[in-house]
A = this chain, B = another copy of it.
Amino acid sequence: MKIDWRRNNSLTNFFFNCSSCDLELRVVIEDFLDKKLQNILNVKAEKLNEAIEKGIIKFFEFHGHPALQFKKGIGKIEDGTLIYFRDKIEVIRGFPKIRRTLMLFPTLKNHFKGKIVVEEKMNGYNVRIASIGDEIVALTRRGYMCPYTTKKAVEILDLSQFFNDNPDLVICGEMVGTNNPYVSHYYEEIGNLGFRVFDIRKKTSNDPLSINKKQEILNKYNLPGVRVFGTFNVNEAPEKIKEVIKEISEAKREGIVIKDPDMEILPLKYTSSCAHDYEISYAFTYPFDFGKDFFFSRVIREGFQAFEMKENDEELRERALRLGESILLPMVSTIKNVASGKQATEDMTIDVASPEEVEEFLRHLHNLGVYAVIEKFEDNKAIIRRIHQSTTDKITNLLNGGLY
């Protein structure tokens, strides 16, 4: 791949501004992009070149070192993939999208073979933790190093021995709890903030360890895994999972991920009615920001689940009431708020030691395109207020006599 440096703005800017990019490193990177990257990733040179030109592969400087971020997937390389140039070149692949099934039967039987493992899917945000040089970084789904998550990950987990022994492994898991700046959800066993591992994957190839191997490592290094509901024969799985899902839904938890024990077949996800309603309810708290996009797929999930659960009239009525309330009540409540002069806002609490940490986190949010302000900072807790502008503006307009 021959990069035309003059045509590539982001690359030129990057080399102009990068404090650590001396001539020698430039030669290394250029050589890497020209010859090695296409082999490592198994993506054709022209595709990579095109992606760099379009800004899909973005160059940035991370703690004085150059790095690459994949803003979208290219060939088999997932979006959120990061490449760090240090003493050696480290490739942290994006977390692969998990497909969803709406029907347990016959999908599980068709998709898997023999046995499956059922793990809990928690309602938080997806984090990959990896060692890069002498640092440990926590990356969000889209491939951003989140300063808050990175700090908290090493506070919550004792990772030094693990990464000492396994520098080529990546810990994939969910950051969960109420003091969670992206997805706040209360879990009894978690409280403010916690982390649960669901996958351990290899750098560069993204190959996951088998469930047994993963469990062995979690035990050895005393790392907390997600809850495992058991291993089932694929034929008995649908009935077992129906029970699990009802239990999960009643406990107001999200769902499950169904995995091949060898991790050679792609996992599938399946979620609880409670999770669908929860997300619809969130969406209709900010209807003109999220309502349209969130709604349809979640309602369809409810339809297929009700069908597969063979619900009777009373059960259907209950499900319908929950669904209707998840749509209507938050929307009416937001309309009331806006009518009383308030904005449609969302508060998130984070634990931070200093105002500088809050500022750093806000800068991170702004880089992601999220508009938020500090509402309060007290006792090492910051309340961050996100403002949902479309909802505020549109409701204000309609209340003032705007036509629809």
**Chain A residues engaging chain B, CB cutoff 8 angstroms:** 99-103, 106-107, 109-111, 268, 284, 287, 291-292, 295-297, 299-304, 306-307, 311, 316-317, 319-325, 327-329, 331-332, 335-336, 339, 398-404
**What residues on B are CB-neighbors of A320 within 8 Å?**
321, 324-325, 327-329
What is the bound-complex CA distance between A109 and B400, given in angstroms? 11
9 further A-B contacts with Cβ under 8 Å, apart from A299-B328, A302-B328, A303-B332, are A101-B404, A102-B404, A103-B398, A103-B401, A107-B401, A292-B296, A300-B404, A301-B404, A303-B335
Q: How far is the CA of A299 from the CA of B102 in the complex (A)?
A: 24
Q: A227 vs B330: C-alpha distance in the bound complex, in angstroms?
A: 36
A396 CB → nearest B CB, Å: 11
Cα separation A295 to B283 with both chains bound (whole Å): 14
Chain A to chain B contacts (Cβ below 8 Å), 28 pairs: A99-B403, A100-B403, A100-B404, A101-B404, A103-B398, A103-B399, A107-B401, A109-B401, A287-B303, A291-B296, A295-B296, A299-B327, A300-B331, A303-B335, A304-B398, A307-B332, A307-B335, A307-B339, A317-B321, A317-B325, A320-B321, A320-B324, A320-B325, A320-B329, A323-B327, A324-B324, A324-B325, A324-B327
For the complex formed, measure the closest distance between the CB of A320 and the CB atoms of chain B, giving whole angstroms. 3
B101/A403 in contact, CB under 8 A: yes
Contact B319 A328 (CB under 8 A): yes
**Shortest Cβ distance from residue A280 to the other chain B in the assembled complex, whole angstroms:** 10
Residues of B within 8 A of A107 (CB): 401-403
Q: Identify A316's interface contact among B101, B111, B332, CB under 8 A.
A: B332
Contacts of A284 in B (CB 8 A): 299, 303
How many copies of this kind of chain does the complex include?
2
Identity of the chain B residue whose Cβ is nearest the Cβ of A399 in the assembled complex: B103
Q: Which residues of B contact A317 (CB under 8 A)?
A: 321, 325
Residues of B within 8 A of A110 (CB): 401
- Nearest residue in B to A331 (C-beta to C-beta)? B303
Nearest Cβ on chain B to A324's Cβ, whole angstroms: 3
* Residue ID in chain B nearest A104 by CB atoms: B401
Residue among A287, A300, A302, A319 with the highest chain B CB neighbour number at 10 A: A300
A388 to chain B: closest CB distance in Å? 15
Which of B291, B325, B335, B402 interacts with A299 by CB under 8 Å? B291
Q: How far is the CA of A159 from the CA of B88 in the complex (A)?
A: 88
Interface hub of A296, A297, A327, A404 (most chain B Cβ within 10 A): A404
Say whether, besides A401-B110, A403-B99, A404-B100, A303 and B328 are in contact (CB < 8 Å): yes
Q: Which residue of B lies closest to A100 (CB)?
A: B404
Beta-carbon nearest neighbor of A303 in chain B: B331
Query: What residues on B are CB-neighbors of A297 within 8 Å?
Result: 404
**A319–B329 Cα gap in the complex (Å)?**
10
Chain B residue at minimal CB-CB distance from A111: B401
Q: Which residue of B lies closest to A395 (CB)?
A: B304
